[in-house]
């Protein structure tokens, strides 16, 4: 079952996207930005995996959102190959050294 996004939620998403786009021209991406983005992607994936796991184990009701979590996980996972950019290995990381040596 597809859920329709509410008009206020859509308006908020468009406002955030518009603000992010307008600020994009102001800043040059840094290695720290790439690391933060990678962390956000991995955190999002972890959240969807946890929600799916809890639903499949019967710890919470599905309420029709299992498919949405699966789709979001698939969409987010598609970015993994793009988030380990050369030079973005800054600060503390849980990534294995091999990810940087053999991408």
Residues 54-103: pLDDT tens digits?
999 999 988 889 999 999 999 999 998 888 877 788 888 777 888 777 76
7 or 27: which leads in pLDDT: 27
Which pLDDT score, from 0 to 100, does residue 59 have?
95
Q: Does position 1 have pLDDT exceeding 50, yes or no?
A: no
Report yes or no on whether pTM surpasses 0.85: no
The tokens describing 95, both together, are: 């990534």
For 30-41, b/e burial (b = at least 16 CB within 10 A) is eeeebbebbeeb
User: Nearest to residue 83, comparing CAs of 43, 28, 41, 27?
Assistant: 41
User: Nearest to residue 68, comparing CAs of 55, 82, 81, 83?
Assistant: 55
Check: CB of residue 80 under 8 Å from CB of residue 99. no
Which pLDDT score, from 0 to 100, does residue 76 have?
93
With tokens 């962390």, the residue in question is 39
pLDDT tens-digit series, residues 2-20 = 455 555 665 665 666 665 5
């Amino acid at each position: 079952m597809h859920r329709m996004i509410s008009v206020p939620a859509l308006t908020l998403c468009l406002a955030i996207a518009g603000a992010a786009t307008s600020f994009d021209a102001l800043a040059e991406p840094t290695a720290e930005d790439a690391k933060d983005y990678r962390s956000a992607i991995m955190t999002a994936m972890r959240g969807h995996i946890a929600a799916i796991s809890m639903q499949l184990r019967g710890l919470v009701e599905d309420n029709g959102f299992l498919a949405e979590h699966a789709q979001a996980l698939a969409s987010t996972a598609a970015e993994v190959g793009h988030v380990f950019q050369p030079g973005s290995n800054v600060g503390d990381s849980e990534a294995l050294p091999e990810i940087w040596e053999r991408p």
